[in-house]
């Protein structure tokens, strides 16, 4: 009887309107990020831009790491339409649609700096959208649905990769890039339509009024509630948990191209495999979190995530074998889906409903730090620097490159500190 009731509870939690909203919000959040980290690198590499320059494009993601600086404004200012959260959603989503479409009209051969500037603006509006989507989700979900709801959100988020990283890359073999970028940007209409149709979450929590309430109180509350030592450990964990995974996937599309796979293969078979693996990982992650708790899920999924990184090392020595490629990518994205579901649920648990936007922005900013700064050096780690590299050689001198295989093993090692920190911030014996 107990198991039957628990299964019924899980089914009821899965099939409700809140989960559907989480899926669409996740898709809308993931689309611009994968546009920046999958479509633009594929575009630049196909136009002959070197790996070091493409790797440095990770720095356009700086807004993701500093969004906590303007999150208090989005928490306290209500626009004169659609309400406190939905107004900001609509503004950022329209800006993203326009920015993504315009970027495709630039030429990588003589406009790299303008492409970087456009990508930076897209990252700014994407990070701003994330602030309000994270706050809306925390206010939407009751505590008992945090794991499942965040899992569904990550399902939608990771599924978005199929548009810029799958459809967009594949279309690059058949259409001019401006048309590819326009088609991908139009998928932001999914988010715009969703924003108009959903309702504001009714809450008795008043938005901050003074500068102290908007800026200082969210940080003070987190450190007072957690204690300084644990708060610092939590922040360190958020930085480290996805470090190895982020670095390993930073140049994944250029890596596939360098192995000899065509853009069509990458955009269809690879992305389709990763799409379903992510969905499966996110769904399994939500159910497992619901049953065993967030702490144990972080341990279990962290191990899967770490081992999956080594799949890239195996792929780098196997060559362009489609079956191996599909297997390696499926397992890696399964690990990504699992790990992301648990980590997002953990972040939601650590936030206070009094300061959802600012505290969630702080946590997700720490996760974005490796994706922005550590990823920027991945091209240098793989290729090294030689005399033919111009400004890079003048700045750094000659540096040996690891090559892909050693680089992926190094990424797996970078995942270990996050696992060690689990001993203090998410002990196995506590759910």
Sorted by where each begins, the domain ranges of the chain are 9-425
Tell me which residue of 387, 291, 300 sits closest to 339, measured CA to CA: 300
Distances (CA, A) of 250 to 38, 184, 226, 255, 372: 9, 20, 33, 9, 9
What's the whole-model pTM score?
Answer: 0.67
Distance CA 97, CA 311 (A): 35
What pLDDT, in 10s, does the model give residues 219-247?
Answer: 788 888 878 888 889 888 888 888 888 78
Helices (H) and strands (E) in the chain, counts: 26, 0
User: How many CA atoms, within 13 angstroms, populate the side-chain half-sphere of residue 192?
Assistant: 13
Look-up: residue for tokens 């974005």?
368
Range of weakest confidence among 9-18, 263-272, 387-396 = 9-18
Question: What's the CATH number for 9-425?
Answer: 1.20.1250.20
> Other CB atoms closer than 10 Å to residue 81's CB: what's the count?
9
358 compared with 18, residue with greater pLDDT: 18
| DSSP 8-state assignment for residue 399 | B
5: confidence class by pLDDT, cuts 50, 70, 90: very low
Distance CA 298, CA 114 (A): 40
What pLDDT, in 10s, does the model give residues 49-58?
Answer: 777 777 777 7
Q: Burial code of 109-123, b = ≥16 C-beta within 10 A, e = fewer?
A: eeebeebbebbbbbb
pLDDT surpasses 80 at 205 = no
Angle at Cα 137 formed by Cα 134 and Cα 140, nearest 5°? 155
Contact 382, 407 (CB under 8 A): yes
User: How many CA atoms, within 13 angstroms, populate the side-chain half-sphere of residue 400?
Assistant: 3
Average pLDDT of the residues in 87-115: 89
């Amino acid at each position: 009887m107990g198991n039957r009731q628990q299964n019924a509870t899980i089914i009821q939690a899965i099939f409700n309107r809140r989960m559907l909203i989480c899926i669409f919000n996740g898709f809308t959040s993931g689309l611009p990020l994968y546009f920046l980290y999958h479509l633009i690198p594929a575009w630049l590499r196909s136009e002959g831009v070197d790996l070091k320059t493409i790797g440095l494009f990770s720095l356009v993601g700086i807004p993701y790491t500093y969004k906590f600086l303007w999150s208090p404004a989005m928490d306290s200012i209500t626009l004169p339409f659609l309400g406190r959260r939905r107004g900001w959603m609509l503004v950022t989503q329209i800006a993203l649609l326009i920015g993504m479409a315009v970027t495709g009209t630039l030429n990588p051969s003589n406009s790299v700096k303008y492409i970087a500037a456009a990508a930076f603006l897209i990252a700014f509006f994407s990070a701003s959208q994330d602030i309000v989507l994270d706050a809306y989700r925390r206010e939407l979900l009751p505590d008992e649905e945090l794991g499942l709801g965040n899992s569904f959100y990550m399902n939608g988020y990771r599924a978005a990769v199929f548009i810029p990283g799958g459809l967009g890359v594949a279309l690059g073999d058949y259409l001019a890039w401006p048309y590819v970028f326009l088609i991908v940007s139009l998928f932001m209409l999914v988010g715009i339509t969703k924003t108009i149709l959903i309702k504001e979450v009714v809450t008795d929590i008043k938005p901050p009024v003074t500068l102290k309430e908007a800026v200082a109180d969210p940080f003070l509350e987190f450190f007072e509630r957690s204690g300084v030592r644990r708060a610092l450990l939590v922040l360190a964990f958020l930085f480290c948990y996805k470090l190895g995974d982020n670095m390993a996937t930073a140049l994944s599309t250029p890596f596939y191209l360098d192995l000899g796979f065509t853009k069509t293969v990458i955009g269809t078979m690879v992305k389709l495999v990763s799409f379903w693996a992510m969905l499966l990982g996110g769904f399994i992650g939500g159910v497992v979190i619901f049953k065993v708790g967030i702490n144990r899920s972080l341990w279990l999924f962290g191990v899967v995530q770490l081992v999956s990184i080594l799949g890239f090392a195996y792929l780098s020595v196997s060559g362009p074998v489609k079956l191996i490629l599909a297997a390696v990518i499926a397992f890696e994205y399964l690990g990504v889906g699992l790990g992301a579901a648990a980590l997002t649920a953990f972040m939601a648990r650590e936030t206070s409903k009094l300061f959802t936007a600012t505290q969630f922005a702080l946590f997700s900013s720490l996760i974005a730090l490796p994706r922005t700064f550590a990823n920027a050096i991945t091209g240098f780690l793989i290729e090294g620097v030689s005399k033919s590299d111009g400004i890079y050689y003048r700045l750094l001198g000659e540096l040996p490159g690891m090559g892909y295989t050693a680089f992926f093993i190094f990424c797996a090692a970078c995942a270990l500190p996050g696992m060690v920190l689990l001993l203090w911030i998410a002990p196995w014996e506590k759910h």
